[in-house]
Amino acid sequence: MTEPVLFTRNLCKRFGALEASSDVSLDLRPGEIHALIGPNGAGKSTLIKQLAGNISPDSGSVWFHGQDVTGLDTIARARLGLARTFQISALAMQHTVLQNVILGALGQRQAALRFFGNIMKNKALRAESEQVLDRVGLLEHASTLTGELSHGQRRLLEVAVALSLRPKAFLMDEPMAGLGADGSARMTGFLDGLRREAPILLVEHDMDAVFTLADRISVLVYGQIIATGTVSEIRENPEVQRAYLGDGGLE
């Protein structure tokens, strides 16, 4: 079995009396989509933030590409190739779509501290960024101000910026949130192909998408991972059904 790209060992995080992460060990293997599900308040956001580096755990460690990154901040982890999309789109709304992607490419090349030369006239960067936009189907909107995009288009742009980092792993926080049925289907199709480039840790409420995409699923309840397994294993796991899906079951 290959070494996981991203994994955690015994992560613990408390906020006062609330145990947001309790001994969480999770791994993301090459080429897979690993979905993280759980009811609201289960600690998914806290876990994502510890993976991305926004908050540091009380104990335990995070490993990325064979390196202990627990002490590194978001910026350093992004430089190592961990690309994140946000639950609520975090984009430069006054910039054009293309500029947002170019920002990603600048981050990937660590080239933000260049003070001369018109960045929008840099042919190589432009070509590369336009190619990324083409992949998510936003090329025709390259010159549109991001603030004028529809909600669904913004979600796609988030993914495009993540792509421009040429990451070694994706952390995606509810990429389907707020998308209509069409949008979800489109995003699902896109992510499906993406796993070959880099594995995806997917936090998602849209169960259809999760069951379509996930190679494995982990279920987080009250800060604990109560089960990890394939779609069918999770569907049949009695503990999951009891704890998480008590009323209604998995559709």
Partner 1 sequence: MSRESLINLLILLAMLVVPAWAVWADEPFILTLATKVAILALAGVGLNVALGLGGLVSFGHAAFFGIGGYAMGILASHAQSYTALMEWPVLIEGTKSMPVIWLVAVVASGFAALLIGALSLRTSGVYFIMITLAFGQMLYYFAISWPAYGGEDGLSIYVRNGFPGLHTLDPLQFLALSYGVLFAVLFLVSRVENSAFGLALDAARQNSDRVQAVGIAPYRLRLIAFVLSGMITGLAGALYADLNRFVSPTMFSWHLSGEIMVFVILGGVARLFGPVAGAALFIGMEHFLGGISEFWQVFLGLVLLSVVLFARGGLIGVLAPKGARHD
Residue closer to partner 1 by CB (options 36, 106) is 106
CB atoms within 10 A of CB 221: 20
Residue selected from 33, 91, 209, 219 as contacting partner 1 according to rule CB under 8 A: 91
Token pair listed for 14: 């408390």
Q: How distant, in Å, are the alpha carbons of 35, 84, 179, 231 from that of 6? A: 13, 13, 28, 20
Q: Using the rule CB under 8 A, is 103 a contact of partner 1?
A: yes
Distance of alpha carbon 205 from alpha carbon 219, whole angstroms: 12
Q: How far apart are the first and last CA of the chain?
A: 32
67 to 86, contacts with partner 1 by CB under 8 A? 73-76, 78-79, 83-84, 86
Q: Using the rule CB under 8 A, is 134 a contact of partner 1?
A: no
2 to 31, contacts with partner 1 by CB under 8 A? none
Residue selected from 10, 92, 232, 242 as contacting partner 1 according to rule CB under 8 A: 92
Residue selected from 3, 59, 71, 114 as contacting partner 1 according to rule CB under 8 A: 114
Q: Count of residues binding partner 1 (CB under 8 A)? A: 45
Residue selected from 1, 2, 66, 110 as contacting partner 1 according to rule CB under 8 A: 110
Contacts of 15 (CB under 8 A, 6+ apart): none
Residue closer to partner 1 by CB (options 18, 111) is 111
Contacts of 249 (CB under 8 A, 6+ apart): 241
Q: 145 by DSSP, 3-state: which?
A: strand
Residue selected from 144, 212, 224, 241 as contacting partner 1 according to rule CB under 8 A: 144
Indicate the burial class of 62 (C-beta count within 10 angstroms; 0-12, 13-18, 19 or more).
buried
Residue selected from 41, 67, 71, 111 as contacting partner 1 according to rule CB under 8 A: 111
Token pair listed for 55: 């908050």
155 to 214, contacts with partner 1 by CB under 8 A? 161, 164-165
Residue selected from 1, 2, 66, 94 as contacting partner 1 according to rule CB under 8 A: 94
